[in-house]
Amino acid sequence: MPIIEGIVKFRQEDFEKEKEFFQGLKEGQKPHTFYVGCSDSRVVPNLITKTLPGELFVVRNIANVVPPADKNEGTLKCTASILEYAVKYLEVKNIVVCGHSNCGGLKALFYPQEKLEKLPLVKNWLRLIEDLKEKVKDIEDEKLREWEIEQLNVVRQLQNLLTYDFVKERVEDGRLNLLGWYYIIESGEVFNYNFETKEFELIN
């Protein structure tokens, strides 16, 4: 649908139908979950979690990355500032890092250098995760390698979250719950990272 038409239709149809609900949101938000996802247009946070406006505080970027606390300079600060706000001010109960299949951000790690030179800002961003390539270098099957690096990337971002003291202390005392998800575009399935077995398990 053309985007302008969508705006009008939303107001006239959806908003009207749920007017009381939307108006009830006017005084403030109390989201229960901070969702870190990929900017990919096919993975829509509220859609795949069936959550409503007011429930998810969201940051999306290329390959759902959380820059670690010690690499937090320049443009990388953007995601971290949103994290700080979500945890310390909004006091969310959960942080979800959601990766997905067929992620262009992770594929880009394998592009020839000259292709990435044309995207210097993206290249800089991807430096945060380029070492993951090394971990999958022995996997020959391309599809398997893709899935593996996408899942490793989710685990890496969970680790990066814990480099922030304000996250670590809340996780340790139980105020904050970390979740690592992997969404499969073609099946709609979401796999959840089990911190004990270190495996992704289908959420069912």
Known catalytic residues are: 38, 40, 42, 100, 103
CA distance 9 to 43: 22
The three-state DSSP-derived secondary structure of the chain is CCHHHHHHHHHHHHHHHCHHHHHCCCCCCCCCEEEEEECCCCCCHHHHHCCCCCCEEEEEECCCCCCCHHHCCHHHHHHHHHHHHHHHHCCCCEEEEEEECCCHHHHHHHCCHHHHHCCHHHHHHHCCCCCHHHHCCCCCCHHHHHHHHHHHHHHHHHHHHCCCHHHHHHHHCCCCEEEEEEECCCCCCEEEEECCCCEEEECC
**Cβ at position 157, least distance to Zn ion in Å:** 12
Indicate which single residue of 103, 108, 149, 190 sits in contact with Zn ion (rule: CB under 5 A).
103
40 binds Zn ion (CB under 5 A): yes
User: Which span sits near Zn ion by CB under 5 A: 11-19, 37-45, 132-140, 195-203?
Assistant: 37-45
- In this complex, which beta carbon is closest to Zn ion, that of residue 38 or of residue 190? 38
- In this complex, which beta carbon is closest to Zn ion, that of residue 129 or of residue 176? 129
What the block records as the tokens of 129 is 């995760």
**Cβ at position 110, least distance to Zn ion in Å:** 14
User: Which span sits near Zn ion by CB under 5 A: 25-33, 105-113, 162-170, 192-200?
Assistant: 105-113
Indicate which single residue of 31, 35, 38, 67 sits in contact with Zn ion (rule: CB under 5 A).
38
- In this complex, which beta carbon is closest to Zn ion, that of residue 56 or of residue 176? 56
154 binds Zn ion (CB under 5 A): no
**Cβ at position 37, least distance to Zn ion in Å:** 8
**Cβ at position 48, least distance to Zn ion in Å:** 13
User: Which span sits near Zn ion by CB under 5 A: 46-54, 96-104, 125-133, 167-175?
Assistant: 96-104
Please give the C-alpha separations between residue 129 and each of 52, 160, 201, in angstroms, as whole numbers.
31, 11, 23
The residues that touch Zn ion, with contacts defined as CB under 5 A, are 38, 40, 103, 105
